[in-house]
């Protein structure tokens, strides 16, 4: 396979990233907007739809997640959905204007017996002309190769927070486990989608470390989801935020995080992911100005509520934004490698 060359800086230092965060807000957003328009059409936002194809009962203990078997939430565990039911949902998403269909499973990792159905789903969604993305937990090199062969376009696997905070949020796997799966995905030739969550009571230094970890991967993720924690009652972090409301992230700091992601990873799609449902239109507008250019559409994420198509249509009309055509994204994004010198 041809080696893909990093086309943007992957040698950011923590100090440089901290300095970006420290800029005045107007200067930071101005710089991010400039980088955004040098690489993308700033009026276009990619629309993706999410579907939980296997919900709840997950053996991992991620402190934010409603689907962990260790959390005390209302989420009911289900089996992997039927292939046909998934394809039906994908067709509906396409009718609603989505160009990418993202599927999530509450697994630590897929079992080998799950792989034939997963492969059928990827092939089926691709045949409809949509981009496919999956997030299934940790992958072995062999599983990553199977997904690549089926035609999977993207694999989502988040680093979630800084390496030093990781063990406070999740104890059932390590930061290195995450890096290993990202490596397997990249080596299989699948585009990487990796980001994380802010608003988990972390410090500014953690946010610096989180962006630093992403921006210094051997190659920037093609897509970087920035989630704002959706606090879920019965999860350790949801309960922590309910007890200490002051730990909630400030909107301006959230926009700063988006802006720093845009500046340090100029060619990546920066996705304003979970948390939009409780975000004001003004904050979302600032995120788009600061370089966010992808969202999840619809009323539901995996288990948590999302902003909803009606609200998004109104917001897009107010802001003069439009959906990004799939072929446009292909042209503007780092997913298309340049030949090595
Ligand atoms: N089990 C797989 C995994 O962990 O990689 C895939 C599904 S998991 C739900 C995908 C991502 O959703 C997590 O890495 C996390 O970033 C995000 N997420 C989960 N719960 C969230 C919450 N309550 N608020 C914000 N983001 C959340
Ligand atoms: C990502 O970073 N955000 C999406 C997607 N990848 C799979 C998931 C958000 C989940 C929000 C909580 C929930 O719906 O349970
Ligand atoms: Fe499981 Fe993923 Fe939720 Fe963690 S984030 S508990 S791995 S579904």
Active-site pick, 31, 165, 186, 193 = 193
102 is catalytic: yes
For a mutational test of ligand 2's pocket, the pick from 273, 278, 279, 305, i.e. the residue with the most ligand atoms closer than 8 A to its C-beta, is 273
Residue 113: alpha-carbon gap to chain centroid: 26
Residue 177: alpha-carbon gap to chain centroid: 18
Per-residue model confidence as pLDDT tens for the chain (341 residues): 444 444 589 999 999 999 999 999 999 999 999 999 999 999 999 999 999 999 999 999 999 999 999 999 999 999 999 999 999 999 999 998 888 999 999 999 999 999 999 999 999 999 999 999 999 999 999 999 999 999 999 999 999 999 999 999 999 999 999 999 999 999 999 999 999 999 999 999 999 999 999 999 999 999 999 999 999 999 999 999 888 887 788 999 999 999 999 999 999 999 999 999 999 999 999 999 999 999 999 899 999 999 998 899 999 999 999 999 876 554 444 333 333 33
Pocket lining: 197 vs ligand 1, CB cutoff 6 Å: yes
Find the 274 Cα to ligand 2 centroid distance in Å.
6
333 is catalytic: no
**pLDDT confidence of residue 26:** 98
Query: Please, how many CA atoms are within 13 Å of residue 13, restricted to the half-sphere of its CB?
Result: 3
Q: Among all chains, which residue has been given the structure tokens 């190769």?
A: 145
- Separation between Cα atoms, residue 25 and residue 228, nearest integer Å: 19
- Separation between Cα atoms, residue 105 and residue 47, nearest integer Å: 20
Helix, strand, coil shares of the chain, percent, nearest 5, are: 45, 15, 40
The residue whose CA is least distant from atom 19 of ligand 1 is: 65
For a mutational test of ligand 1's pocket, the pick from 52, 53, 61, 65, i.e. the residue with the most ligand atoms closer than 8 A to its C-beta, is 65
Q: Is 300 helix (H, G, I), strand (E, B) or coil?
A: strand
**pLDDT confidence of residue 8:** 87
Q: Is 263 helix (H, G, I), strand (E, B) or coil?
A: helix
Find the 22 Cα to ligand 3 centroid distance in Å.
32
Asked if 241 contacts 268 with a C-beta cutoff of 8 angstroms, the reply is: no
Ligand nearest to the CA of 295: 2
Task: Identify which of 310, 213, 228, 306 has the alpha carbon closest to the alpha carbon of residue 264.
Answer: 213
C-alpha distances (whole Å) from 116 to each of 113, 134, 265 are: 7, 14, 35
Ligand nearest to the CA of 272: 2
- Separation between Cα atoms, residue 172 and residue 38, nearest integer Å: 41
Count of H helices and E strands in the chain? 13, 10
The residue whose CA is least distant from atom 9 of ligand 2 is: 274
Ligand nearest to the CA of 133: 2
Give me the DSSP letters along 84-110.
HHHHHHHHHHHHTT-SEEEEEE--SS-
- Separation between Cα atoms, residue 297 and residue 109, nearest integer Å: 26
Torsion of CA 105, 107, 109, 114, to 10 degrees: -60
334 is catalytic: no
62 is catalytic: yes
Query: Please, how many CA atoms are within 13 Å of residue 255, restricted to the half-sphere of its CB?
Result: 26
Pocket lining: 146 vs ligand 3, CB cutoff 6 Å: no
Task: Identify which of 258, 264, 255, 260 has the alpha carbon closest to the alpha carbon of residue 221.
Answer: 264
- Strand-pairing partners, residue 200, are none
Pocket lining: 60 vs ligand 3, CB cutoff 6 Å: yes
The pTM assigned to this predicted structure is 0.94
């Amino acid at each position: 396979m041809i080696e893909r060359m990093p086309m943007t800086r992957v040698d950011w230092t923590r100090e440089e990233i901290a300095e970006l965060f420290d800029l005045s807000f107007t200067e930071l957003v101005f710089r991010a907007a400039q980088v955004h328009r040098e690489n993308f059409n700033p009026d276009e936002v990619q629309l993706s739809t999410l579907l939980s194809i296997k919900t709840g009962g997950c053996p991992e203990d991620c402190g934010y997640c409603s689907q962990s078997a260790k959390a005390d939430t209302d989420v009911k565990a289900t089996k992997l959905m039927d292939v046909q039911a998934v394809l039906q949902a994908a067709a509906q998403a396409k009718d609603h204007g989505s160009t990418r269909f993202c599927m999530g499973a509450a697994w630590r990792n897929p079992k080998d017996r799950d792989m034939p159905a997963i492969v059928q789903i990827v092939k089926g969604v691709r045949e409809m002309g949509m981009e496919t993305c999956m997030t299934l937990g940790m992958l072995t090199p062999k599983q990553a190769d199977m997904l690549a062969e089926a035609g999977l376009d993207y694999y989502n696997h988040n680093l979630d927070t800084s390496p030093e905070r990781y063990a406070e949020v999740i104890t059932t796997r390590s930061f290195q486990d995450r890096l290993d799966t990202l490596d397997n995905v990249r080596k299989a030739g699948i585009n990487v989608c990796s980001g994380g969550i802010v608003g988990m009571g972390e410090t500014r230094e953690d946010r610096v470390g989180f962006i630093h970890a992403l921006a210094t991967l051997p190659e920037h993720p093609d897509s970087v989801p920035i989630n704002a924690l959706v606090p879920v009652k019965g999860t350790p972090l949801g309960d922590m935020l309910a007890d200490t409301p002051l730990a909630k992230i400030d909107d301006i700091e959230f926009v700063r995080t988006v802006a720093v992601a845009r500046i340090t990873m100029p060619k990546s799609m920066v996705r304003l992911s979970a948390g939009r449902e409780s975000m004001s239109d003004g904050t979302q507008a600032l995120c788009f100005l600061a370089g966010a250019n992808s969202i999840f559409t619809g009323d539901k994420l995996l288990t948590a509520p999302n902003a909803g198509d009606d609200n998004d249509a109104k917001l897009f009309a107010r802001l003069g934004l439009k959906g990004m055509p799939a072929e446009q994204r292909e042209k503007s994004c780092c997913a298309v490698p340049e030949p090595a010198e």
